[in-house]
Amino acid sequence: MSKQKLNASIFINAPRETVWDTLLGYNSYKEWTKSFNPTSRFEGDWSEGSKILFLGTDENGENEGGMVSRIARNIQNEYLSIKHLGIVENGVEDTTSPKAKSWAPAYENYTLTEKDGGTEFVVEQDLDEEYLPMFKEMWEKALQVLKELAEKKQN
């Protein structure tokens, strides 16, 4: 499959620090990522070099799945690069199967830039071409929620 880069951005009327905290805070993360999976959450931390799991349960609430990742780069309030290494299926990490290797490694990068008294938030994600339309739609929803949460926190 052909890998493509998804690019999405949004202007958030809040300082970078507020956007950063909203982006990575445990409770706010669960809120803004609901468009990807209603039970979205992470286990681990955002320190550079740290392993982190992005998890959620299936629509029946039975099987836990997601991604095994590592924080490739973390420049506080400015830039975060996540290197996805594999998948989690039924609670089991997999970085070696053909299924996991078919899309990993893949990067997901967040850039926060001060602009016009607020923050320009840009996401860049490596995806298989077939998933691009679906993820574009999910990111549009997620970014809108991120914006609302950060702006509400600011006021």
- pLDDT tens string 70-123: 999 999 999 999 999 999 999 899 999 998 988 889 999 999 999 999 999 999
Percent of the chain with pLDDT over 70: 99
pTM above 0.75, yes or no: yes
Average pLDDT value for residue range 132-139:
94
Candidates 95, 139, 119; CA nearest to 5 is 139
In order of their start, the domains of the chain are 3-154 (3.30.530.20)
Please tell me whether residue 96 adopts helix, strand or coil conformation. Answer: coil
Average pLDDT value for residue range 23-46:
96
12, 123 Cβ separation under 8 angstroms: no
Please tell me whether residue 107 adopts helix, strand or coil conformation. Answer: strand
Percent of the chain with pLDDT over 90: 83
* Statement: residue 32 has pLDDT above 90: yes
Residue 98 CA: distances (Å) to CA of 66, 75, 95, 102, 155: 16, 33, 9, 6, 48
CA atoms within 13 A of residue 68's CA, in its CB half-sphere: 16
* Statement: residue 143 has pLDDT above 60: yes
pLDDT at 1: 56
Average pLDDT value for residue range 46-58:
96
